Amino acid sequence: MTEAERREVKAKLIELGYWGADEPGDPTTDLYDAGILHERLQAKLAQGVYLISEIAYDYSSAREIVIYWGDPPSKLISAPTYLEAVSLAALALPEFLRQHPECGADQK
């Protein structure tokens, strides 16, 4: 991910409410901040639905973010690194929850 892409992704994270505009840190560049983002994404999911980061099946350093809630699990995103994967997963999660509202923490 280029620096310009990182800035764009961070702006979208702020727009979606996953990261505060005045909040220090950057989940697109810092492992600790990416972990905070991961926790925030998990909080959007219903009890018993899990957002997991896995090493891609090709045994490279690539990461996959997978949502475990049924069989088979749903792969949300793949990216070259955990930082990229969790950041891009945040962008993909709203669409996943629109398609699978039963997985959302805000079920009515």
Tens-place pLDDT, residues 17-34? 999 999 999 999 999 999
- Assigned domain for 108 exists: no
How far does CA 92 lie from the centroid of its chain?
7
Is residue 50 situated within a structural domain? yes
Beta bridge partners of 50: 68
pLDDT tens for 75-85 read 999 999 999 99
- Is residue 41 one of the residues assigned to a domain? yes
Number of domains in the chain: 1
Residue 45 lies in a domain: yes
pTM of this prediction?
A: 0.90
Q: Would the pLDDT of 59 be above 70? A: no
- Cβ–Cβ < 8 Å for 28, 84: yes
Q: Does 47 fall in a domain?
A: yes
Residue labelled with tokens 């959302």: 104
Domain that holds residue 76: 3-103
